[in-house]
């Protein structure tokens, strides 16, 4: 088990193209930790906004009667990928990892694989 800061550092350092990462509580919309960013991109604002995305998807699945678990949600922009990974392990209920990737440098399949592996290290 690793601390939030260690997990975020590992994600940012080990995932090619990663420019920002956050651990977010989607019940409150608060980021429990953030790392990386740029002058034009505020991870705290993005974390709060993506909380709405997660909640909307969960409501939609409930209305459709779908019982499957959300693994991740992908948002593609012209120059970035935004990957939302819902945590399912011990103590991860209500949390998601949010990863911002530079689309030109990232390998999306590898990023998903690595984020899934990192998820198991999260200790809250």
In this structure, what CATH number is given to the domain that contains residue 27?
Answer: 3.30.450.30
Q: What is the mean pLDDT of the chain?
A: 90
What confidence score (pLDDT) does residue 45 get?
92
pLDDT, one tens digit per residue, over 43-79 is: 999 999 999 999 999 999 999 999 999 999 999 999 9
**Distance between CA atoms of 108 and 1, rounded to whole angstroms?**
25
Q: Which two tokens stand for residue 105?
A: 């440098």
Q: 74 and 50 in contact (C-beta within 8 Å)?
A: no
Residue 19 has pLDDT above 70, yes or no: yes
Q: What CA–CA distances, in Å, run from 47 to 62, 82, 109? A: 23, 11, 22
Give a yes or no: residue 124 inside a domain. no
Give a yes or no: residue 105 inside a domain. yes
Q: 66 and 59 in contact (C-beta within 8 Å)?
A: no
* Domain containing residue 45: 4-119
pTM: 0.91
Q: 112 and 11 in contact (C-beta within 8 Å)?
A: no
Domain total in the chain: 1
Mean pLDDT throughout 79-98? 86
């Amino acid at each position: 088990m690793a601390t939030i800061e260690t997990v975020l550092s590992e994600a940012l350092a080990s995932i090619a193209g990663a420019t920002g990462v956050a651990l977010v509580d989607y019940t409150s919309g608060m980021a429990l930790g953030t790392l990386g960013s740029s002058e034009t991109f505020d991870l705290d604002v993005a974390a709060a906004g993506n909380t709405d995305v997660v909640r909307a998807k969960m409501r939609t699945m409930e209305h459709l009667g779908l019982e499957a678990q959300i693994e991740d949600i992908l948002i593609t922009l012209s120059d970035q990928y935004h990957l939302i990974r819902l945590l399912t392990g011990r103590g991860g209920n209500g949390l998601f990892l949010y990863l911002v990737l530079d689309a030109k440098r990232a390998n999306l399949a590898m990023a998903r694989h690595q984020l899934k592996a990192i998820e198991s290290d999260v200790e809250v």
